[in-house]
Chain A
Amino acid sequence: MHKKMAFSFPDEVLEHVFSFIQSDKDRNAVSMVCKSWYEIERWCRRKVFVGNCYAVSPRMVIRRFPEFRSIELKGKPHFADFNLVPDGWGGYVFPWIAEMAGAYPWLEEIRLKRMVVTDESLELIAKSFKNFKVLVLSSCEGFSTDGLAAIAASCKNLKELDLRDCEVDDLSAHWLSHFPETYTSLVSLNISCLGSDEASFSALERLVHRCTNLKTLRLNRAVPLDKIANILRHAPQLVEFGTGTYTADVRPDVYSDLAGVLSSCKELKSLSGFWDVIPDYLPAIYPVCSKLTSLNLSYATIQSPDLIKLVSHCPNLQRLLVLDYIEDSGLEVLASSCKDLQELRVFPSDPFGAEPNVSLTEQGLVAVSLGCPKLQSVLYFCRRMSNEALVTIARSRPNFTRFRLCIIEPKTADYLTLEPLDVGFGAIVQYCKDLRRLSLSGLLTDRVFEYIGTYAKKLEMLSVAFAGDSDLGLHHVLSGCESLRKLEIRDCPFGDKALLANAAKLETMRSLWMSSCAVSFAACKLLGQKMPRLNVEVIDERGPPDSRPENCPVDKLYIYRSIAGPRFDMPPFVWTMDEDSGLRLS
């Protein structure tokens, strides 16, 4: 076999080629081809993504990528959304901001998910980055409107301020007036999570009026329906709009005002908000429905007939978020009207109720799977499921990439046969070859994990609760799922053996969360000692784990790979197992 000479490129040409390669995965692949590509790539990487803020230190990132303009960081594990991660666990962004403030005055974009952001951090951002353009905070907490005021006042080039599902301390609605009168560059504003205090409408109106490039505006619940018309009148160019509360006394002038101004928004593609909807005002949005590609009705407590009417006006819908009030009948209409549907999320209106309050069953999901050829992402809450339904769904919709099924009551069996739902989920992983994300529920034995380990070769994230019989289940997943990056498990009988036997696998994943399982403290210590590139965190609010016998199971376990070593910002109920002492207190 003759050896071919490598084709030589000048560096600038290679850099130019790399400028067309943007995804993190591809950039990482490029950087590992050879030494010269590594060097060139690191100097021209402009966007850095760090999936776990504790996997690497800010200094390391800055040293390797001297010229990035945009950073995305994620903090707490996903199960924090379900209150499984105690307050104070960590995920503080301040150290990152502090390091970057010194090294990177030209940073333009910061995107954070599940991190603790303080007003101090926001003030530092406002002060340090002169060309700051984009701030996206997703499921973050720890800051107040004072921090937002600092951003508004100082960031003259701000284009995007997006607060999604954040917990914000609403001290004053007047932070909006801190945007100077000369400021006009806003393109995207999402304040939907802000509190219900009286907002400063005039400041908002003036802001919308002077920012003629505004494309996305998502208001919070406090903005009343009759104010929307005034706001929208100044922004007919909007592409994405979120209403505030969608209720008011039924008045024809308010209605016609609203309908008129909405129909003049010719570019509108996405609607959300709709708190407290009263059906009388719904038809106001019919004129824009035919162009809608995304509709978020997850706060809209309207019943099935109104939902059906609304949905049948939206033939181009690609994304729908809705409460289970839509019922099976509504989903059938959706299946026949919305052939472009790609993503569906159905949330429970009454998850804690003992009896179902709506007629939403597995049939709705089957209907949508059969009827919508482009459907690839589903999050579905329901109260019953059958293997038969799951097999039908799998066979008819092999293009699923995300399948999250949440049968509300844990360990619910197939309602037709009373068997576990192993075969049903097995069909999902067998037929849906590109499945990247899966959430399991219902009665499940080790067998479902066999199927997953055998077939789910592209699976990247798996969520498991109240499932499995033994360590073999976990072993199948860890040894079989080649692409697995995130695994989160709660209340399953998985213990030490599978974990220890597959320890090397853990280094190929971003993280593993196990709570209320059967992993002993001794195993945690061993893992921490043997695997220096893993941080093994034991989270236990009952007190130090060494105050109990070693074979006692730990309450919560969070394992993640890291080249930054153990962290030092842990609260008293978190311990990192490491090589030195086997037990390190914060």
Chain B
Amino acid sequence: MSEVDMAVIKPEMMKSYIWLQTADGSIQQVEQEVAMFCPMICHEVIQKGMGSSKNYAISLPQRVNPAMLSLILDYCRFHQVPGRSNKERKSFDEKFIRMDTKRLCELTSAADSLQLKPLVDLTSRALARIIEGKSPEEIREIFHLPDDLTEEEKLEPLKNTTDDPRIRLLNRLYAKKRKELKERQKLKNIEVEEERVDDRSVDDLLSFINGDNGDSKGIKNSKSKKKNRRRKDQQKTTSANEAIKNHNKEPNGLNQVCHSAEVGQKVRAGVGATSNLHDVEDNIFDNKNELDDGDIDDEIDPALKEKIDREVEDFARRLNSDWPERMQEILSFGHERKPVHFSLNGNGSLRRYANSEQR
């Protein structure tokens, strides 16, 4: 309310009341100085002469129900007092804003319809804080919003979407493929077990992971995998020490470089490093020939081990269901293995040829 407005109001009115009517029909009277804190009410009083009696009660916008009006008036009653310090006002605001989200939304909307900007800012900021840090699903839940973006519009991992129709088609295929993958992962273990028995390429992969002879059932052999790795560790340590001695002259490459101007020279990847790589490659393939000496106790804790077991299981299952024959070919590079033949059904699911054909 500006100075000008104050001058216009006759002194008799200073202690009087303003009549307000909410959309549900109920009418109430409110101290003038409190009500006039709202620009919308102020406008009605001054420009249209409304609110001076019950019959001429100001009709408030629909978004202001009695409960919200009560809250807004509380806000106005406090803030319209001129003598308060900033600290006091801030403290009041912080307490005032503590309410459930639904009421907060209603209040924001009501304050906006009454053009009460400070309260709109306060409630908007509070809503922003509620939204921050949450996922879209969580936000939807809180505000009861529909999940109406299409799969392609969601493109969840990507920051930007596009309306290119070609991309939309690809995305639809992707969404479909993702759903299929999820469904397949719910299949019983038994089915996977059976397939594994017949599927030699996946077996190869599992044996590579587990580091034994390839007749694994996959899951329970993480122990042997650990044992082999330890043996390899010892091999590697000694070879690493040698590598350090040999490659001392040539900078083998830092994994970070100082940003200092003095150390301006950047580092070239050491040539020596490549030879180590091939050694390791051979180790991977040699694993299969090492015999399983029996259980060796690792220092790995059981929860982690279980998790790793599940990892291997998942790995195998995903491999089995995901990729058609090309993948199998790639995996069997350098080894004489017969690729397993898969074919895609009309509905996109994989179908394996009957066992007899493979043997």
Give residues in A with beta carbon < 8 Å to B.
4-10, 12-13, 16-21, 23-24, 26, 28-30, 32-35, 37-38, 49-51, 55-56, 60-61, 63-64, 81-84, 165, 221, 275, 298-299, 301, 323, 347-352, 354, 379, 381, 404, 406, 408-413, 418-420, 439-441, 443, 445-447, 450, 453-454, 463-466, 469-472, 475-476, 479-480, 490-491, 493, 495-497, 500-501, 504, 507-509, 515-518, 520, 522-523, 526, 530, 532-533, 551, 561, 563
Contacts and interface: CB of A to CB of B under 8 A. Distances in A.
B330 A501 contact: no
Nearest to A555: B269
A196 to B, nearest CB: 10
A447 B229 CA distance: 9
Contacts of B155: 563
Interface in B220-277: 225, 229, 232-233, 236-237, 240-241, 243-244, 248, 251-263, 265-270, 273-274, 277
A500 B283 CA distance: 21
Contacts of A471: 208, 284
B259 A165 contact: yes
B132 A21 contact: yes
Given A82-B266, A406-B255, A563-B155, A323 B120 contact: no
B260 A26 contact: no
Given A9-B109, A83-B268, A516-B274, A29 B135 contact: yes
Of all A-B residue pairs in the complex, the 4 with the closest CB atoms, nearest first, are A83-B266, A20-B128, A465-B255, A493-B280
A564 to B, nearest CB: 9
Contact of B162 (A60, A440, A479, A551): A60
A471 B333 CA distance: 15
Nearest to A453: B311
Q: B interface, how many residues as a size bin?
A: 35 or more
B320 to A, nearest CB: 11
A150 B345 CA distance: 63
A453 B254 CA distance: 24
Contacts of A440: 255
A21 B130 CA distance: 10
A301 B146 contact: no
Nearest to A422: B233
B263 A491 contact: no
Nearest to A6: B144
Given A24-B159, A479-B314, 14 more contacts: A6-B143, A33-B140, A34-B146, A50-B160, A82-B266, A83-B267, A298-B259, A348-B258, A408-B254, A463-B255, A480-B311, A491-B273, A520-B330, A533-B174
Contact of A469 (B106, B109, B160, B280): B280
A412 B245 CA distance: 11
Interface in B113-163: 120-121, 124-125, 127-129, 131-136, 139-140, 143-149, 153-163
Contact of A479 (B259, B261, B315): B315
A6 B133 contact: no
Interface of B: 102, 105-106, 108-109, 112, 120-121, 124-125, 127-129, 131-136, 139-140, 143-149, 153-164, 167, 170, 174, 178, 181, 205, 208-209, 225, 229, 232-233, 236-237, 240-241, 243-244, 248, 251-263, 265-270, 273-274, 277, 280-281, 283-284, 304, 307-308, 311, 314-315, 318-319, 322-323, 326-327, 330-331, 333-334
B336 to A, nearest CB: 14
Nearest to B127: A17
Contact of A7 (B105, B209, B262, B333): B105
Point out which of A17, A82, A381, A508 has the most chain B C-beta atoms below 10 A from its C-beta: A17
A411 B159 contact: no
Contacts of A26: 131-133
B130 to A, nearest CB: 9
Given A17-B131, A500-B323, A275 B124 contact: no
A7 B256 contact: no
